[in-house]
Structure 1
Amino acid sequence: MASGYGAHGGPSRCFPFWQELLACYVVNSAEEDVKAKGKCGAALEDYYECLHHKKEAARTRALQAAYRKAATASEREGFPSAGHIRSLGTLANEAKELESS
């Protein structure tokens, strides 16, 4: 939540990630080292993931797509083949019976 408090009081779910990010910035805020702030990229990425769940959503979409693909592939296995359908009393099967008689 925007206030920093969770829905049921107490700290929000992303508060530990925010503390980690803030600590990284405090430790790496030396004025003489400009590249030090780049070291906090992993902490910033973790905090954004906690807020927005973009990676988790992408992983969920990929798993759902793979599940749908597997489900449609397995449905095809249960259907009879074209040759099996032709041999179930269609004209070709009757013609063979007439020739043999």
Structure 2
Amino acid sequence: MADTPAPETVEMLPVTWDGRGEHWTVTVCGNDGRQLLQQTYEHWTDFRPASAGHRLIEHGYMPNPERYLIKDAVASWTEVEEDRLYTGEVYRLAPPA
């Protein structure tokens, strides 16, 4: 198994979980604003904080563990708009293919 880099040595990337439409969509962007990942979860009716992290891991991104310590954050996600918009940070587990 490859070593996972320590969070302090990697580039943190902004993540948005948006449920303001009919479905929940996750978007990961590079710090240059370029979209790196966008995935829609049509079967989600509510935000699922733990599942949100797992879905990102499946795509090669790890939620920033330091964000678990933020007051009022839920499983590293910060609510921006009541029950419909959450933000966080991730880092890439492996270089892009």
For normalisation by structure 1, the TM-score amounts to: 0.19
* Higher relative contact order, structure no. (Cα contacts within 8 Å, ≥ 6 residues apart): 2
> Higher strand proportion, which one?
2
For normalisation by structure 2, the TM-score amounts to: 0.19
> Higher helix proportion, which one?
1
